[in-house]
Structure 1
Amino acid sequence: MASTPEDDLRAFQFERVLNQDTGRKTLNLLGSINGQPAIITAEKTAFNADRAPALVSPEGLPSLHLLQKNDIYHWFMGTLQQSADAAAAVKVNLIYPCTDVHIKKYSAQKPHMVVETPEVYARYVSRYIAEKVAGGRLNWVYNILEHRSESEKIVYEDEDKLTGFILLPDLKWDLVTMTSLYLSVIVHRTDIRSIRDLNASHLAFLRSMRDRVLSATSDRYAIASDELKVYVHYQPSYYHFHLHVVHVAHDMGSSAAVGKAILLDEVIQTLEVMQRVQAAGGTEIGYKDLEITYLVGEEHDLWRRVFEPLKQGLEPTI
């Protein structure tokens, strides 16, 4: 009998801690399941405001320990009543089997600010991207697009192979806390790997997708469109064009920071400027012609194989 995902998680054999973020209350663990490498990421869940009365009841706080009292101020440590279905204390993600790329991504690492010129992109980074889309690395994306996985979660879909996309909750969202709402948009077309492939010809596609994503999200979750931010990553974590839709109140940490996230509206405005330049008789340009500055961790292959060698005056190993 095949094992269930729950069976796999219970069979996890701990090896070491990859990273811990005390501010965001997350913990990344490396281990193995049935002899294959696996990663568990654990994150403390947000409080559910709808359960506030139960939270402060004796049943909701079954154990309390007074740490200190000073005049009107009191500090306690306590345990909460928990239920995996209604009041889970932790959200656990499992990547199994994981790759070396996953291990590097989820490990603590020193970040570096790098400048990717059009020349560096054309000579080295484009080749790196070609490596990363080979060998079935995007099978999980195609599983979603072809309805082999997560089809029950789809919020909105346009099935057109050129202008269509799927909108669905990201695995990082607990599906309960609206202020931490996080959705992903995965396009059906396969000719756009990252913003580097975008030019003025994609403007109508991007504008239409932005408007429909905001409308569908607002309708499904009763959240005003001005309470949502839509952005792309560069570098992205996988090379099939996708968008991130996040509640403006949600602290996404480095995932939404300068040097990683670029607002979709900003991308559209940049392409509009390019379009005006072309209309005025200028040469046809796109994001491939821009110098882009971003953060990359020292465990990332782009740092080790491209930017670190360039910094040392050596030829990149890609």
Structure 2
Amino acid sequence: MSSEDSKTAELQILLKRFVYSRTLSDDQLAKSVCLLGHIPANDEAVITDTNRAIIHISRLPIDPTDISGYRSVKNAQINDCYHWGETFLATTTGDRDCKVTLLYPASKKHLNKYDKQHNYVTIIETPEMYQSIVKPYIDFNISEGSINWVYNILSGQKEQEQVKYQNSNFLAIPDMKWTDQSDLKSMYILLLFKDTRLKSIRDLHTCADLDLLKSIKVDVQKHVLKQYGDLPLNKVKLYFHYQPSYYQLHIHIVHCDNEVNYKSMLLGKDCHFIDTVIDNLEMNIDYYKKCKLVYCLNDDSELYKRIENSE
């Protein structure tokens, strides 16, 4: 059995064993649903930290309760807890073609990210809070293996066939959200920094960091966008998130006309455009070490609980 056949068989088996619990989100605009359940190891009937599973189904305007199975999985890929591929979704009205992503075993952080039943609160993070609360949380988060999938890509172990460009400083790879790469207006590319010292924009505080950001703009135009019909730089948005969803510095490259992933691009969702970051560092190279950063947190997230317990 080939490596691709093995991945396909594994994903097919996991999807078949998935036991639905509830719907985490149902986004009709993005045509996607996110389902919570578990994949029992010993016929257990309840969700635990070791059997929790989350399935994200994209480009599918459908009632989640109509889903009855997953058939004919193909083009499967696996990186750490992430499994994804294409499948025919069995429903009460017939089979539907879609892309499916399975997170298994899914962590509590994954659950907090996708569950829309929680409330969000605004955090004003001071430099002191970052040093005493947030940085220790980041270190703990990494030690728990939450970004092993990123390290797998950076080390060349996984998803190398997807990498569109890389040099000594970064690599560019399509995000799983970009389900139809023939549609440029839905472009969504991740630019992953290779320097593991850089976890978030808080770590940008040297002249070398500033020069790197400036060079990235040139490289994105010259090497990444050139692969997509010489798309001009002013047709994409380059931005960071803070707080990011994972702690290896990365930039989102998204087409300006992308409406499907609009939620990720709103300023209210803690976006920091690369030009603004460059400008701030030019004014004060220690800007992100000294400034307050405002963002929203899920009130059931581990970081929020740590901040609350410190007060």
TM-score under structure 1 length normalisation: 0.76
Contact persistence 1:200–1:286 (CA under 8 A): no
| C-alpha distance in structure 2 between counterparts of 1:292 and 1:200, whole Å | 19
Superposed CA deviations along residues 110-167 of structure 1, whole A, max 9, x for unmatched, are 2222211112112111111111111322211111011111000111011x2xxx1111
TM-superposed CA distance for 1:302, in Å, is 2.1
| C-alpha distance in structure 2 between counterparts of 1:187 and 1:296, whole Å | 24
Identity %: 33
- Please tell me the root mean square deviation across aligned C-alpha atoms, in Å: 2.2
Superposed CA deviations along residues 4-48 of structure 1, whole A, max 9, x for unmatched, are 2233223222111112223333211011224321100122269xx
| C-alpha distance in structure 1 between counterparts of 2:296 and 2:23, whole Å | 23
| C-alpha distance in structure 2 between counterparts of 1:6 and 1:212, whole Å | 39
TM-superposed CA distance for 1:179, in Å, is 0.6
2:224 equivalent in structure 1 = 217
**Unaligned 5+ residue runs, structure 2?**
42-50, 62-86, 89-95
Change beyond 3 A, Cα 1:45–1:217? farther
| C-alpha distance in structure 1 between counterparts of 2:19 and 2:161, whole Å | 31
Q: Indicate which of 21, 25, 33 corresponds to 2:27.
A: 21
| C-alpha distance in structure 2 between counterparts of 1:6 and 1:268, whole Å | 45
Q: Which is higher, the Rg of structure 1 or of structure 2?
A: 1
Please give the residue correspondences for 1:87-166 in structure 2 after superposition, counting only pairs within 5 Å: 90-108=98-116, 109-158=118-167, 160=168, 164-166=169-171
Change beyond 3 A, Cα 1:299–1:22? farther
1:42 equivalent in structure 2 = 57
Change beyond 3 A, Cα 1:253–1:297? farther
Contact persistence 2:32–2:60 (CA under 8 A): no
Please give the residue correspondences for 1:76-87 in structure 2 after superposition, counting only pairs within 5 Å: none
4+ aligned runs moved over 4 Å, structure 1 = none
TM-superposed CA distance for 1:298, in Å, is 1.5
Q: Indicate which of 3, 8, 11 corresponds to 1:5.
A: 11
TM-score under structure 2 length normalisation: 0.77
Please give the residue correspondences for 1:1-318 in structure 2 after superposition, counting only pairs within 5 Å: 3-35=9-41, 36-44=51-59, 90-108=98-116, 109-158=118-167, 160=168, 164-174=169-179, 175-201=181-207, 202-222=209-229, 223-251=231-259, 252-259=261-268, 260-275=270-285, 285-306=286-307, 309=308, 315-316=310-311
Contact persistence 1:29–1:41 (CA under 8 A): yes
| C-alpha distance in structure 1 between counterparts of 2:35 and 2:276, whole Å | 36
| C-alpha distance in structure 2 between counterparts of 1:288 and 1:119, whole Å | 10
- The one-letter code matched in structure 1 to 2:172 is L
Q: Look up the SS of the partner of 1:236 in the other structure.
A: coil
Contact persistence 1:197–1:286 (CA under 8 A): no
